[in-house]
Chain A
Amino acid sequence: MRASPPLSRVVLTGVGLTSPNGNDLGSFRHALLEGVSGVVPFETRHMGAVIAGVCDFDERKHQSRKARRRGTRAGSIAIYCAHEALNAAGADLAQVDPSRVGVYVGTTEHGNVETEQEIASLREYDDDTRYWSHHHNPRTVANNPAGEVTINLGITGPHYCIGAACAAGNVGIIQAVQQLQLGVVDLALGGGVSESIHTFGIFASFRSEGALGHHEDPTRASRPFDKARNGIVVSEGGCLYVLERLEDALTRNAPILAEVVGYAVNSDAHDFVLPLAERQAQCMRAALRVADLEPGDVDIVSTHATSTPQGDVQEARALKEVFGASARTRINNTKSFIGHTMGAAGALELAGNLPSFSDHKIHPTINVDDPDPDCWIDSMVVGTPQSAERIDTILNNSFGMLGINSCVIVRRWTSDAA
């Protein structure tokens, strides 16, 4: 059997993001260190007042009004993130063969927002389907957000969305890494987006499950690991990275945010909605094996925990099993600030931790007023940031319905690591 050549090393060279508490990495990081939430009162069809994480990026910055009208919110988020990521990476598409650029966007779901809107509009015309928009199909095809990016930027390489429930942000990154390693593309945009707050269905379904987070103060509703947590806060957001093979990034003197050294995706094979600690632990260990690291090598675990009573306990059990003996590892959570950005969550939550490599701080989990002993781990960082002498490795968890688990591990880049 022919031996496989070693896989190329892949690095993150730029990130573009919109989060409910920041529209670029600097402002997002600042909000995470200062305890600034992005959860606000929100109105949704049929349900009225709810709470949600809402983004306020400038849709017009990289998109015409006509393109925005024709497309989707998810497409608009993806276009914004793609431009910002390319700018941050100093990557000039005019200098790149556009057929060698790939766009891999993770989504929890796509099309619900647009379908719901069309149905609501149709009601105004007595359900006469002659009034159903010709834009419905291009808006709701599953590749829409990624495809809008290629149209906007003139990218002619592959594009598609990766449906991976709430693990999608991580899986978008993983897909980009794999396509670079396979030599399919030379430059990739990978990550995830979500427009989910614009469909009432996601709120109503979580409420029917008894899993919709609520609190009289919206900023305190998302409270993973707190005894009083009562469910998910639904949020929109987006985060795309520019990924390149290490040798290409070095050749063009690109800024290197981190190297993706390990990843894993597995399946619970257990339940539609309930998570499974055993399989989550297996996923984390599989990612560590790929990275050739031990749990004790990991400085930060960015948890997936969504503030549901059962989910947080399962992840905490998995974390104790894998990292319980690691004195070096610190554990935090981003959803406590911004809620659950669904398809964007994995990519966004990783991004918020990347500046740790240079500012040597670990952002906390907020809203943990009364730690739940069923999911408490002494290495959790709560309330205020912690400092560390050096941070080299981050493991980012992102899990989703139907029992999908994903982990991405990144390492601080130094020139002597080349």
Chain B
Amino acid sequence: MTEDGLKKIILDIIHDIAPDEDLSDVDPAVRLRDQLDLDSMDFLDIVMELRKRYKVEVPEEDYMELSTLNGCVSYLMPKFQEKGIEASASA
């Protein structure tokens, strides 16, 4: 699993949750909520989709780790590697 591959997985989930958003220019260092129209229910959707699609759990105390795209990659990479997920973003 590459960092770019994981970013694409995250952006694909966000695209499904917020289909009206333009995701072509997301700054990975900036809080997602500061550049996209996302609220707390949307973040719960991200957590739910990670669970449904990849069986990856994000405990509530770690939700803040998902605030930026870079944060998502840093936090989720070990979890994806632990599960041996190398699937493409369309998984």
Q: Which residues of A contact B45 (CB under 8 A)?
A: 134
Q: Number of contacts between A and B (CB, 8 Å)? A: 23
Q: Which residues of A contact B44 (CB under 8 A)?
A: 134
A272 located at the interface, meaning its Cβ lies under 8 Å from any Cβ of chain B in the complex: no
In the complex with contacts A66-B37, A70-B41, A134-B18 CB distance below 8 A? no
Q: Which residues of B contact A133 (CB under 8 A)?
A: 48
**Consensus secondary structure, chain A interface:** helix
B-contact bits for A25-64, CB 8 A (1 contact / 0 none):
0000000000000000000000000000000000000001
A-contact bits for B64-89, CB 8 A (1 contact / 0 none):
00000000000000000000000000
B19 near A135 (CB under 8 angstroms)?
Answer: no
Contact of B17 (CB < 8 Å), options: A64, A66, A125, A130: A66
A-contact bits for B19-52, CB 8 A (1 contact / 0 none):
1110000000000000001000100110010011
Which chain B residue has the least Cβ–Cβ distance from A67?
Answer: B20
A390 located at the interface, meaning its Cβ lies under 8 Å from any Cβ of chain B in the complex: no
A66 near B48 (CB under 8 angstroms)?
Answer: no
User: How far, in whole Å, are A135 and B43 apart by their CA atoms in the complex?
Assistant: 12
In the complex with contacts A131-B48, A133-B48, A65-B41 CB distance below 8 A? no
Q: Which residues of B contact A125 (CB under 8 A)?
A: 52
User: How far, in whole Å, are A65 and B15 apart by their CA atoms in the complex?
Assistant: 11
A69 located at the interface, meaning its Cβ lies under 8 Å from any Cβ of chain B in the complex: yes
Q: Which residues of A contact B48 (CB under 8 A)?
A: 131, 133-134
| Interchain nearest-CB distance for A144 vs B (Å) | 14
A65 near B52 (CB under 8 angstroms)?
Answer: no
Contact of A69 (CB < 8 Å), options: B19, B21, B37, B51: B19
Contact of A64 (CB < 8 Å), options: B20, B41, B51, B52: B20
B51 near A130 (CB under 8 angstroms)?
Answer: yes
Q: Which residues of B contact A69 (CB under 8 A)?
A: 17, 19
The 17 listed contacts between A and B (C-beta, < 8 Å) are A65-B19, A65-B20, A66-B17, A66-B18, A66-B19, A69-B17, A69-B19, A70-B41, A125-B52, A130-B51, A131-B48, A131-B52, A134-B41, A134-B44, A134-B45, A134-B48, A135-B41
Known A-B contacts: A131-B48, A134-B41. Give 14 more (CB < 8 A): A65-B19, A65-B20, A66-B19, A66-B20, A66-B21, A66-B37, A69-B17, A69-B19, A70-B41, A130-B51, A131-B51, A131-B52, A133-B48, A134-B44
